[in-house]
A and B are shown apart, each in its own frame.
Chain A
Amino acid sequence: EIVMTQSPATLSVSPGERATLSCRASQSVRNSVAWYQQKPGQAPRLLIYDASTRAAGIPARFSGSGSGTECTLTISSLQSEDFAVYYCQEYNNWPPRLTFGGGTKVEIK
């Protein structure tokens, strides 16, 4: 089973600042990583897939990078609506045993 470890668990950032979220896989997942945003009381929303492709309607301030065992989600200039929990997910296993990371909470500093 692939384990996805996200860091930090909590990130305190001021509006307008840059946020960098990390996701480390226990073995290579190539570029088969997606990122989701979840706000309190809401379902998750797809942000990024294939490690770096923005989903439809996602603002350009969200970007993904990396491959292999290390992936990163960067929010270039945090807006008030970006404070949320972010999850990475790998989809490289066969047969599928899709795994999410434990999440990073981005909070207002």
Chain B
Amino acid sequence: EVELVESGGVVVQPGGSLRLSCAASGFTFDNYAMHWVRQAPGKGLEWVSLINWDGSDTYYSDSVKGRFTISRDNSQNSLYLQMNSLRAEDTALYYCVKDKSIGDDPSYYMDAWGKGTTVTVSS
């Protein structure tokens, strides 16, 4: 069974930095692209970032580009999100999400989600 467990969410001041982690199990991690998706309190879903199977390609939403960095360690079955220059509008539940993937290419839709980790940006 696929399991994705996020960690690292805390309360941080505006302008601060944070690194989220996601531990993956139950599937061959290095066969799949991975995403981060966030959900602000009481709001809808917002895609944040995508990384391909070997980390050679990364993509970001305009709202986080230049501030966030997605990475992965396939030897540790782990996904990361380095978040810098945090703003109040980054406050959200952050989900680690598995791409359904077809061969070496992402499918760009998401077939397994973690329970999320909460990031609060507040002074």
Which secondary structure dominates where chain A touches chain B? loop
- Give the interface centre of A45, A46, A96, A99 by most chain B CB atoms within 10 Å: A96
Q: How far is the CA of A89 from the CA of B111 in the complex (A)?
A: 13
User: Do A46 and B100 touch across chains, with their CB atoms under 8 A apart?
Assistant: yes
Q: Which A residue sits closest to B46, measured CB to CB?
A: A100
B34-78: CB near A (< 8 Å → 1, else 0) gives 010000000011110010000000010110000000000000000
Give the bracket for the number of chain A residues in contact with chain B: 20 to 34
Q: For the complex, what is the distance from the CA of A49 to the CA of B44, rounded to whole Å?
A: 19
Q: B108, A96: Cβ atoms under 8 Å?
A: yes
Q: Which residues of chain A have C-beta atoms less than 8 A from B111's C-beta? A: 46, 55-56
Smallest CB-CB separation from A34: which chain B residue?
A: B109
B9: Cβ under 8 A from any A Cβ: no
Q: When the two chains form their complex, are residues A103 and B44 in contact, meaning their CB atoms are under 8 A apart?
A: yes
The interface stretch among B20-28, B79-87, B113-121 is B113-121
Residues from chain B with a CB closer than 8 A to the CB of A1 are 62
Q: Given A43-B95, A97-B62: A91 and B109 within 8 A (CB)?
A: yes
**Residues of A near any B CB (own CB < 8 A):** 1, 32, 34, 36, 38, 43-46, 49, 55-56, 87, 89, 91, 95-103
